Structure 1
Amino acid sequence: MSDRWTISLGRIAIVLALFALWETLSRFGVVNSRLLPSASDTFGTLADLLQRSSVRSDLAVTATEVLTAFALAVPFGGLIGFLIAENRYFADVVKPLLFFAFSIPKSIFLPMFILVFGVGFSQKVGFGFFSTIFIVIMSTATAVESVRVEYLTVARSYGATRAQTAWRVYLPSMLPVLLEALRISMIFNLTGVILAEMYASRDGIGHQIASWGENFQMKQLLAGVVMVAAIAIAFNEIIRWVETRCSHWRT
């Protein structure tokens, strides 16, 4: 427990030191305050933005798009990853293609999504799905391959069905790895949706951030960046907490 508290205090100290440096650089004119508003001004602007109904509405839109894309990509990608890992020939054929597709920057396909889906909810959800599914597939395949053969042999020797094997052997063994993969997947998902909103959208927090940047509203821009970062960190910590609860399943 003491080690955890020491680590937590160390992290908090680093974050506070960074904010203090940010405040100092802006307040004392080391950096032009028009380009880098102080931390206190940025957080004051953030508090003001959160009181605006338009910003809260944009946050709700982005959250809906992110959760929808995530809810579609995770089971669909998980199923494909499971099937790939269970078929050795299929894995040997498909895996190199997946790595090839994953290495291509997804942003270059964004204009195609706009042409196909138009500017709206489907375009942003579709691009978020596309940005997420490859990491889900590869992570699931890796998680399946990490399951010990001995566990499967014992389950099958007792006559376990495919469903029972998947639920009682695969899932408990894979869950710690999958939870870690979910944290990474959400980063790709959130990035994809925000990018789609910034590129072409009529609403969403990404659209607001792009508008603030185009109009050189640096306080609002930095406040928006802090807002998105806080959301990503919050989700990451929630999954990390669940992951620690499942750590006893690691073998």
Structure 2
Amino acid sequence: MRLVTVHSLALKLARLAVILVIIAGWEMASRTGLINPRLLPSASETLSMLLNLLGRAAVRKDLSVTAMEVLSAFALAVPFGGLIGFLIAENRYFADVVKPLLFFAFSIPKSIFLPMFILVFGVGFAQKVGFGFFSTIFIVIMSTTTAVESVRVEYLTVARSYAATPAQTAFRVYLPAMLPVLLEALRIAMIFNLTGVILAEMYASRDGIGHQIATWGENFQMPQLLAGVVIIAVIAISFNELIRWVETRCSHWRT
């Protein structure tokens, strides 16, 4: 156990060292003129701008708008996509008909459909939530189907032999057996979801952090642009680590 702890600590320190080297290289490249500082502001300048932006009420409002859009799209896509995925996995004929179509739809870049969402929903909350939902639901469906199919038949046979109700089978057999796969799928789904919402904000929107990033880029405000990218990265990493923490807490269900 002690060796495992030491190894884990060594890995964390190595990762931290890599991050520090990258930041130091970024700082030196900008400070020494190796890269034009107007194109790549230094890490310290970006950090200073980040703190400045977070102190602005308008930026905090845009962050709250983006958070509401992302959470709304995610809250719609996960249960709806999960239900469709469950039905596909439980019905062989339905799966044979729908699965190939899902793979075809998943392979198409979703960004080409964004103008259609703008035409249908206009430029506003519904358009961004709708596109985030559309960007997310396919990965949720496919992941749920895989998760349901990963449940061992022996578990279902035992549950049915004890006359378990459909609700008991769902919550006491399917959910524990599927959870590790589902949590991994949620991490991937949130990436698609966040990407879809930010893209919709950048393409056509009046508010949201994606709209701000697009505006900063158009006006060549590189410190603000990089600070906005850092904000999005921190949000994505934070959610990813939250799901990893939940996954660790539920790791006993893997057995």
Tell me the TM-score normalized by structure 2: 0.97
Task: Find the aligned partners of 1:181 and 1:58 in 2 and give their Cα distance.
Answer: 28
The alignment status of 1:156 with 2:143, answered yes or no, reads no
Partner residue in 2 for 1:35: 39
Partner residue in 1 for 2:69: 65
Unaligned runs of 5+ in 2: none
Unaligned runs of 5+ in 1: none
Shift of 1:58: 0.1
Q: Secondary structure at the match of 2:207?
A: coil
The amino acid of 1:163's aligned partner reads: A
Task: Find the aligned partners of 1:209 and 1:23 in 2 and give their Cα distance.
Answer: 22
Task: Find the aligned partners of 1:73 and 1:158 in 2 and give their Cα distance.
Answer: 34
Task: Find the aligned partners of 1:245 and 1:6 in 2 and give their Cα distance.
Answer: 23
The alignment status of 1:197 with 2:201, answered yes or no, reads yes
Task: Find the aligned partners of 2:82 and 2:144 in 1 and give their Cα distance.
Answer: 6
The alignment status of 1:247 with 2:220, answered yes or no, reads no
The amino acid of 2:193's aligned partner reads: N
The amino acid of 1:182's aligned partner reads: L
Partner residue in 1 for 2:22: 18
Shift of 1:3: 2.1
Structure 1 segments of 4+ aligned residues over 4 angstroms from their partners = none
Partner residue in 2 for 1:123: 127
Q: Secondary structure at the match of 2:163?
A: coil
The alignment status of 1:188 with 2:187, answered yes or no, reads no
Partner residue in 2 for 1:8: 12
**Alignment match of 2:103 (pick from 96, 99, 102):** 99
Structural mapping, 1:196-235, within 5 Å: 196-235=200-239
The amino acid of 2:251's aligned partner reads: S
Aligned residues, how many? 251
**Alignment match of 2:182 (pick from 178, 181, 196):** 178
The amino acid of 1:22's aligned partner reads: W
Task: Find the aligned partners of 1:122 and 1:214 in 2 and give their Cα distance.
Answer: 25
Range that drifts further, 14-23 or 29-38:
14-23
Superposed CA RMSD in Å reads 0.6
Task: Find the aligned partners of 2:20 and 2:159 in 1 and give their Cα distance.
Answer: 51
Structural mapping, 1:51-90, within 5 Å: 51-90=55-94
